A and B are shown apart, each in its own frame.
Chain A
Amino acid sequence: MQLRSWTPSRRETMGLGLTAMLAAALAPHLVMATEEATAAELKKLYGDKPMAQGKIKLDLPEIAENGLVVPLNIDVESPMTEQDYVRAVHVFADGNPLPQVVTYKFTPQSGKAAASVRMRLAQTQNVVAVAEMSNGALFTAKAQVKVTIGGCGG
């Protein structure tokens, strides 16, 4: 039996080089991004108030080929009446240089606490949503998106 050692082909070598270059070019942005930044933003908004899981449906692609345009649909379960509605929804991207993505303010006239937007994701990361109900209760949800930057790094 013959043992063959693996030698990268020319194309593979180039691919590796490109990946390394891309990683180096993006690195300064990546280090700025932290989960702590999201936590700090949340603390500014709501202090140390407890948050429950649930109520929020975060509709995100599992894999985003283009980090520049990632569709984000969010839907919060609520009757949306004068007595009981979703007052605000905040969305954060843990791995972006600045974690804030969008803050929605809803009213009972919104009919549905749902909205769609397109966002930028700098890298594979968690997207965090927090919903504030009209009675002050907080709910949170999290989803991970794998980002293939520009279709080149992957």
Chain B
Amino acid sequence: MAIKSKPRVKAPSEAKAGEIIEIKTLISHEMESGQRKDSTGKPIPRAIINKFTAAFNGKTFFEADWFTSISANPYQAFFYKASETGEFTFTWKDDDGSEQTASAKLTVA
């Protein structure tokens, strides 16, 4: 199943240099585990988001490989040490090859 809705990102827009900030993300996805069977007993094929990447100014600082044990509508929270003003890019990669991205700006005072 393809990605259906816009991912949500909660990140502070301002931080002091050296401050460690928390970023929270949420995306709508069934995360079909491949373990379930449909009403006719046929296995439902696996369809999950298998990779989440967080980058700042193009440089990846956090990655999560998700497996089938991750809940539907996956939530991911993580941290970043602010050093300069720039932009976050978040990428979710689907099993079907599609990708969804989101971005957030950060100003470092």
Contact = CB atoms under 8 A, between A and B. Distances in A.
A105 B66 contact: no
B62 A104 contact: yes
B6 to A, nearest CB: 19
Interface residues of B, number: 28
Interface residues of A, number: 31
A24 interface: no
Given A105-B62, A120-B33, A110 B79 contact: yes
B61 A107 contact: yes
Contacts of B70: 101-102, 117-120
A104 B63 contact: yes
Interface string A91-121: 0010011111111111111111011111111
B98 to A, nearest CB: 21
A100 B69 CA distance: 7
A92 to B, nearest CB: 9
Interface string B28-69: 000001010000000000000000000010011111111111
Interface in B67-95: 67-72, 74-81, 83
Given A105-B63, A107-B60, A109-B61, A115 B76 contact: yes
Contacts of B65: 102-105
Contacts of B60: 107
A29 interface: yes
30 contacts: A70-B71, A98-B35, A98-B68, A100-B69, A101-B69, A102-B64, A102-B66, A103-B64, A103-B67, A104-B64, A105-B64, A107-B61, A109-B80, A109-B83, A110-B79, A110-B80, A111-B79, A111-B80, A111-B81, A112-B20, A115-B62, A116-B77, A117-B64, A117-B76, A117-B77, A118-B70, A118-B71, A118-B75, A119-B71, A120-B68
Interface of B: 20-21, 33, 35, 56, 59-72, 74-81, 83
